[in-house]
Amino acid sequence: MEYPPFTRNDADHILDMFTRMIDSSEIDVNVLDIVWEGAEDFFNGRNTAGETARIIQSRVSIYISEQFG
C-alpha cells in the first residue's frame, strides 16, 4: 500500500490533536512519549510508515498490559 507524502500540514494537525488531548487529560503522557519516539524514527528515515505504526502499536500494547493487565 502506498501512502501520500506526509506534509507539514499533516504534522501540524497531529500535533494539534495531541495537544488538545493532553490539555483535556485524555491521553497518558507515557503513551505520547512512545508515539513521539516512533515518529522521530520515521521522520529521521530510520523506519517506514508501516514499520513505525507496528512498533508504536506494539510498544503501546505492552505498556497498557503492564499498567492495566
In the predicted structure, residue 7 carries a pLDDT above the cut 90: no
pLDDT score recorded for residue 24: 66
DSSP letter (8 states) at residue 69: -
Express each pLDDT in 16-57 by its tens digit.
877 776 666 667 788 888 988 998 888 889 999 899 999 999
Cell of 1: 500500500
User: One-letter amino acid identity for 69?
Assistant: G
Q: Supply the DSSP string of 1-56, one letter for each residue.
A: ---PPPPHHHHHHHHHHHHHHHHTT-S-HHHHHHHHHHHHHHHTTSS-HHHHHHHH
Q: Is the pTM of this model over 0.85?
A: no
Per-residue confidence at 10, pLDDT binned at 50, 70, 90?
confident
- Domain chopping of the chain, boundaries: 28-69
